Structure 1
Amino acid sequence: MKTIKICIGSACHLKGSYQVIEIFKALIKEHQLENIIELHAAFCIGRCTGAVSVARWDDKILSVSKDNAREIFIYEIMAYL
């Protein structure tokens, strides 16, 4: 199982972390990845200036917004499964 952690700390919350979570949840379902990817909320990944911070299973930290979430998921998540 691959784990993705999405920060829901203050900076990330203000920049739309819950929207990013919902987009990622929908994409996981759309691509039938429920048995491959686990999605978790996390408090402070340590990259507040790059909010919304998302930690991929290999510790790569990504800066995601609702506007680029789909693109990031395809090119930075699915491409590394």
Structure 2
Amino acid sequence: MVVTICVGSSCHLKGSREIITRLETLITENKLKSKVELNGAFCMGQCVKGVCIKLDGEPFSLTPKDTDSFFHGEILRRLT
């Protein structure tokens, strides 16, 4: 599974670094390093919505407070 997080200026200001840090922690805690690859990318064209995330190419918009629910509802769900 590939998770790509926008690190462009707009998403950076909206908390992309916090999201990356939290996802790294959740992936480690759940022993998923061999199954989930985190990547960074610059502008993915959805700047007005929130931090742009793509999960295997499917776009999402997150805020830092949405990260845990995104991880459990999308990443874990797809891996089990």
Q: Tell me the TM-score range normalised by the shorter chain.
A: over 0.9
Using the alignment, how far apart are the partners of 2:70 and 2:35 within structure 1? Answer: 17
Relative to the length of structure 1, the TM-score reads: 0.92
Which 4+ stretches in 1 moved above 4 angstroms?
A: none
Q: Considering only aligned residues, what root-mean-square deviation do their CA atoms show, in Å?
A: 0.8
Q: What are the superposed Cα offsets for residues 21-46 of structure 1, whole Å, 9 maximum, x if unpaired?
A: 00000000011000000001110111
Using the alignment, how far apart are the partners of 2:23 and 2:63 within structure 1? Answer: 11
Relative to the length of structure 2, the TM-score reads: 0.93
Unaligned runs of 5+ residues in structure 2 are: none
Pairwise CA distance, 1:49: 1.1
Matches within 5 A, 1:34-49: 34-49=33-48
Give the number of equivalent residue pairs. 79
- Look up the match of 1:13: 12
Unaligned runs of 5+ residues in structure 1 are: none
Give the share of equivalent positions with the same residue, in percent: 35
- Look up the match of 1:61: 59
